[in-house]
Structure 1
Amino acid sequence: MLEPLALFQRWTELSGAAWAGALAARCHALIHDSEERFTRALDLHKLAEQPYEQARTHLAYGEWLRRRRRKAEARPHLRHAQEAFERLGGRPWADRAAAELSAAGEAALTRRRAAPAPG
């Protein structure tokens, strides 16, 4: 029996679906610690309208870059992820991106509405 990623990779190749290729590339990037796979995933995301999955790839790549002390390169990916998750209503993911952005040396966006002032 094929391992799950190998099976998904095979299905992706047969289907030719860009969104599936992006997910497979992200999985390979995480498993094999591969920057080339992250950039391949981001290229494939441009061919398919999957904003949630694209944001997850930006977040994973931004985290990967930050952990390699490449903070300046990580920030645009983390910013993209936070903004996308905010738009999509993915609060836990937006919070995670904000924490990573802060760790990369940038104040994260805060879109939460403040409580109205008593008055």
Structure 2
Amino acid sequence: MATGLGFLLGAYALTYSLTLFTAATVAGFYAVFGAVYLGIAVLCTWGGVRALTSRGGLMLTIGSALIACLGALGLVLALFSGVFSLWTALLVLVGVTIVVLLGRPSSRAFLARHSTH
């Protein structure tokens, strides 16, 4: 389940990074955020592949935690402006869920089977 959610987060991050790169034609600083989300997309997607093949879950954990942290930051900023974003809250929930699922003892045992450190 964690890997499926990781692939969804990776697809979201890739789509969002492309949107930010498009917005960078208007304001160049969006390219920085686009690069960050592109990196998160790689972490979530490649981390999902590694976790699915029991090669380790660190990349997926880091990518999911980054999405959750950026989503929480966005949620706090939105709340300060008087707006609640259900989508951002869902991103935080999915990111935290992946981290929790990968931290379970059964998941750690599965991921440690073939892990190369």
TM-score by length of 1: 0.39
- Structure scoring higher RCO (CA < 8 A, sep ≥ 6) equals 2
Higher helix share: 2
Structure showing greater Rg: 1
